[in-house]
Amino acid sequence: MPSTMTKFSWRLAGAVALAAATLAPSGARAEATKILFVGNSYTFGRVDPVMSYNAAQVHDLTASMYATNPSGANSFEPHPWGGVAGIFKQFTVQVGLDYDVSISARNAASLRGQFLNTNSAGWDLRGNIGSQAWDKVVLQEQSDEPLTKQPGLASNPAYFNTYTNLIENWVHQGNALSYRERDLIGGTNAKCAEITGASTGTCSLLRTVGANAHANADADVYLYQTWARPNLVNAPSTTVTDEITGAVTPTGQPASSFYPSLQAMTEDLRQAYAAAALMAGADGSGGIAGVAPVGEAFMRAIAAGIATPDMYASTAASDGLLDLWFDDGTHASKYGSYLSALTLFGTITGVDPSVLGLGEIAARDLGISARDAVLLQRVASEQLGFVAAVPEPGSFALAALGVALVGMLRWRRRWSSAPMMTAVVLGLAAAAPVAVAKDAREAQDAAFDMAAESAPAPATCPSGVGEGARCLAGQDSAGAFYMIVMPKAWNGDLVVHAHGGPFLGAPTARRVVEDIERWSIMPRLGYALAASSYRQGGVAVTAAAQDNERLRRLFIDKVAKPKHVYLHGQSWGASVAAKGAERFVDGKPYDAVLLSSGVLGGGTRSYDFRLDLRVVYQHLCRNHPLPSELQYPLNIGLPLASTMKQADLASRVNDCLGLNKSAAERSPEQVAKIKTLVDVVHIPERSILSHLNWATWHFQDITFKRTGGASPFGNVGAVYAGSSDDAALNAGVQRYAADPKAVAMLAADADLDGKIPVPVLTVHAIHDPTAMVELQESFGRTMAAAGRGDALVQTFTGDKDHSYLSDATYAALMEALSNWATQGRKPTPASIAAGCEKARVTLGSTCRFEPDYQVRPLETRVVGRDRP
């Protein structure tokens, strides 16, 4: 038995194989997944060994066209082609996936050229797209078409966006088309010509496209994001290509440079492909299933010191690094094509490219060493966000599970045994957690290497922490700033604080100081207080929980060993604290948890009302976006390339609603619109703008940085009520379906399972304007479902605030929590209310606990909707 596989791994692999055999009907074989690669020489590879690689296993749909009329291709690019598609096919064979691979490509073809058959040789490239009902289609645009227009650069982003959308619609819906490009771009002949650079005659020409008889609404359409071109960045001279041999020779003539760096050009491409994907899905069609970030993988290989950053440097041939580009500075070398195929493979199949390993066959065939193959596999794996680039014990079995699941999903489309399949898959998932969780915990422990942490330095204490307190500060190995307060009369216990927000910018030391100032009651009560800025901004719950755990360990290793550790989370930070309490359990790192004003409904449900606010606001105001702006899906928050600022949004909101005016100064129309928002979305007037901000920039952060460019938020099936005309409202608001993959990604990061093994105490203002109190009911159900309902005590106050209630309130909560954790004296809402009145004697402030309050279900405040 190989030493790298545990007994559990073998059992799991065997169970997967058995499940696959069980799911297949007797005597039946799953149909192959039919995939079409549409592109040009970036897809077919330009030169051998890539161009003809594995051609026998790829259907080259333009080979017969070349045989009939060879003027459609260069003589030095003979058919049949395998190219990147051929490498992809070899990968699928090695992991046991059955893909029927086809390629439709022509040198220098754009997507517009593919769809309109503009080539002079008369090759019917659109006919190739419509020749079968494809399961998956990969679209690769001509390399400079998506780029921002610049003088001398053959870019045309309007064509890229338009024809990405047209091809995607034709694959999914197949409708016959009759249109003029002016109707799709600009609206007039003159505007179309200005935008595209085409003649007015071209813009006004009637285009007729027949129906696609093989349209498939279930097809997955992907975009193949191409790479930055050195010949457009820093080429020392132009080149000429021999028409017979294809050899590339420098001319000695100066070459134009359009970007300051490869990274800048890659960023332009990334934004262009992301925008095209969004636009393609905005019309309610099947949309784009994903963008394969090949260009970004190229930059990752350079940043990792694997690939050469400058192919023109005098040391490029001897620096020991891989050159990802061919001699012409535009096409990929065999290394670049291999990395392209790896990135496409991971994007399309969902299988981690690193499982291909040292013995990968395509690399061997292409003359790529096993070492270099593994390095490139790791680059693709990391670019796509797979967890493990280097296999750990059990990972081969998990890879087998992933492959089996991919196959099962394919079978699910075609066979009626889906319920049985789901049960078997869930059974496998349930059988595995002990061993998998153990490996995960070991990986976490390895990530918290205290030898890599510097000791904190003395720092000036923020105001309010108590006379004689000592403060320490630093930045941890992950990049998070932190501060620790040691009170003069330390009681021996530590409070680790998880802040809310989250802020979207880079972490700052100032953020930590503000948190210490706000929660200075903790050191004044005698507790040591430690707060982290987190290593990054944005909605990253699990990463923030890890940052807090690192800070706890750092405190113990560098400062002092506390008797007890309490984890406190405020607002969004309450979800961070709850996630940390669920995730880190070995050795009982936390004795109890306090969650105040918490966003505790889980990431996939806590923010539904904010999408409701966006769609109802847009129905009423129609200025976010304006009619003249890109009409993007509102559930993404904001396009990535947008330069909109919060002040801009505030100005638009005030124009429509008059929130910056007194009620008496508002127009009757503004008053009516505010009333509709308040009554339909169930939020107070004073929080409309802040929630719109969150539903703009935080939704953008989630969509583009957390869930792969797709939105986990939807409102299909939501029935809105409370307006003066609910029928018109429901007919008029825009509808969006949450992307299932995005939902799964957000759930993995931000949903809670309630398996917190220590006492949990919560407090929430009944009239909280930011985190609605009904989120507490959702959290209570989560804890109960996990069998931990008895470990939860929830309290409520009559406050109307969110960020901070009162000193006496938190003093009573901490005393109750400490007594529960150390003496087993479980508090009640009434006993905590009494404790608050006692604390007022010395601390002053207010006590507004309402022990008899019964929180209502979240569904009574946030309208239900269809979920994936």
pLDDT digits (tens, 9 = 90+) for 627-651: 988 889 999 999 877 889 999 999 9
Asked if residue 9 has pLDDT above 90, the reply is no
- Phi and psi at residue 305, in whole multiples of 5°? 75, 25
How much is the pLDDT for 704?
86
- Does residue 78 have a cis peptide bond before it, meaning omega lies within 30 degrees of 0? no
Tokens at residue 719, please? 């029935």
Average pLDDT, integer, range 585-594 = 94
Whether 636 and 278 have beta carbons less than 8 Å apart is answered as: yes
The answer to which of 172-181, 415-424, 767-776 has the lowest mean pLDDT is 415-424
> b or e along 44-82 (b: 16 or more beta carbons within 10 Å of the residue's beta carbon)?
bbbbeebbbbbbebbbbbbbebbeeeeebbbeebebbbb
pTM of the model: 0.57
Give the residue-averaged pLDDT of 321-326. Answer: 95
Q: What is the DSSP string of 23-76?
A: HSPTT--PPPEEEEEEESHHHH-SSTTTTTTTGGGEEETTHHHHHH-GGGS-TT
Q: Tens digit of pLDDT for each residue in 532-574?
A: 999 989 999 999 999 999 999 999 999 999 999 999 999 999 9
CB-based contacts of 63, cutoff 8 Å, min separation 6: 79, 80, 81
Give residue 507's pLDDT band: very low, low, confident or very high (50, 70, 90).
Answer: confident
pLDDT at 242: 86
pLDDT at 725: 97
Q: For 795-816, what is the mean pLDDT?
A: 96
Task: Give yes or no for residue 388 having a pLDDT over 80.
Answer: no
Q: What is the pLDDT of residue 30?
A: 59
Average pLDDT over residues 38-42: 96
- Mean pLDDT in residue range 824-836: 97
DSSP state of 861: T
Share of the chain above pLDDT 90, in %: 78
Q: Do residues 777 and 856 touch, judged by C-beta distance below 8 A?
A: yes
Lowest mean pLDDT among 27-31, 340-344, 847-851: 27-31
Nearest to 431 by CA among 1, 4, 3, 13: 13
Query: Which tens digits make up the pLDDT trace of 682-727?
Result: 999 999 999 999 999 999 999 988 988 889 999 999 999 999 999 9
Q: Is residue 7 predicted with pLDDT exceeding 70?
A: no
Mean of pLDDT values over 163-171: 97
Instruction: Please compute the mean of the pLDDT values over residues 247-269 and round it to a whole number.
Output: 93
DSSP state of 378: H
Mean local confidence (pLDDT), 756-785? 97
| Per-residue pLDDT reduced to its tens digit, 721-763 | 999 999 999 999 999 999 999 999 999 999 999 999 999 999 9
pLDDT of residue 410: 36
Residue 286 pLDDT > 60 = yes
Residues 858-866, mean pLDDT to the nearest whole number? 96
